[in-house]
Structure 1
Amino acid sequence: MTNGSRELAADVYATLRDDIISGELEAGAPLVVTTVATRMGVSRTPVREALRLLTSDGLVESSERQLRVAGRSAQALFDIYEVRIPLEAAAARGAAERHTSFDRMQLIRLHEILREVPPDDVAALNAANRKFHEAIWAATHNSALIDFLKRLDLYLRRYPATALHHAGRYQDSRDEHEALLEAILARDVEVAGERANVHFTAARDVRLRFYDSADPVSRGNTQS
Structure 2
Amino acid sequence: MAALSEVYERLRGEIVDGTFDAGANLVELALAERYGTSRTPIREALRRLQQDGLVERGDRGMRVRSRSPEEILEIYEVRIALEATAASAAATRHSDFDLIRIHKAQSAMDAVSQDPSAMAAANRAVHEAIWTASHNGTVVDLLTRLNNHLTRYPATTLEIPGRWAEALAEHHELVQAIEARDADRAGALARTHMTKARDLRLQLYREA
Q: Does residue 110 of structure 2 align to residue 115 of structure 1? A: yes
**Cα distance in structure 1, aligned partners of 2:193 and 2:110:** 16
Matching residue of 2:78: 83
**Which secondary structure does the structure 2 equivalent of 1:137 belong to?**
helix
**Cα distance in structure 2, aligned partners of 1:206 and 1:138:** 26
TM-score (norm 1): 0.87
Query: Is contact 1:91–1:140 with CA below 8 Å preserved after alignment?
Result: yes
Matching residue of 2:160: 166
**Cα distance in structure 2, aligned partners of 1:147 and 1:15:** 23
Matching residue of 1:139: 133
**Which secondary structure does the structure 2 equivalent of 1:124 belong to?**
helix
**Cα distance in structure 2, aligned partners of 1:121 and 1:42:** 35
**Which secondary structure does the structure 1 equivalent of 2:63 belong to?**
strand
Aligned match of 2:14 in 13, 19, 38?
A: 19
Matching residue of 1:66: 61
Aligned match of 2:29 in 28, 31, 34?
A: 34
Matching residue of 1:95: 90
**Which secondary structure does the structure 2 equivalent of 1:53 belong to?**
helix
Query: Is contact 1:21–1:154 with CA below 8 Å preserved after alignment?
Result: no
Moved over 4 A (4+): none
1:189 CA drift (Å)? 1.0
**Cα distance in structure 2, aligned partners of 1:164 and 1:56:** 27
**Which secondary structure does the structure 1 equivalent of 2:57 belong to?**
strand
Query: Is contact 1:33–1:47 with CA below 8 Å preserved after alignment?
Result: yes
Matching residue of 1:222: none
Matching residue of 1:45: 40
Query: Is contact 2:16–2:154 with CA below 8 Å preserved after alignment?
Result: no
**Root-mean-square deviation over aligned CA pairs:** 1.6
Aligned match of 2:206 in 184, 190, 212?
A: 212
1:167 CA drift (Å)? 2.2
**Which secondary structure does the structure 2 equivalent of 1:27 belong to?**
coil
Q: Deviations over 1:11-70 (max 9, x none)?
A: 222221121112122111111111111211222112111111111221111111321110
- For structure 1, the 5+ residue unaligned runs are 215-224
**Cα distance in structure 2, aligned partners of 1:78 and 1:13:** 27
**Cα distance in structure 1, aligned partners of 2:163 and 2:42:** 41
Query: Is contact 2:17–2:154 with CA below 8 Å preserved after alignment?
Result: no
Matching residue of 2:182: 188
1:89 alignment partner AA: A
**Which secondary structure does the structure 2 equivalent of 1:61 belong to?**
strand
**Cα distance in structure 2, aligned partners of 1:57 and 1:124:** 23
**Cα distance in structure 1, aligned partners of 2:148 and 2:98:** 24
**Cα distance in structure 2, aligned partners of 1:124 and 1:10:** 25
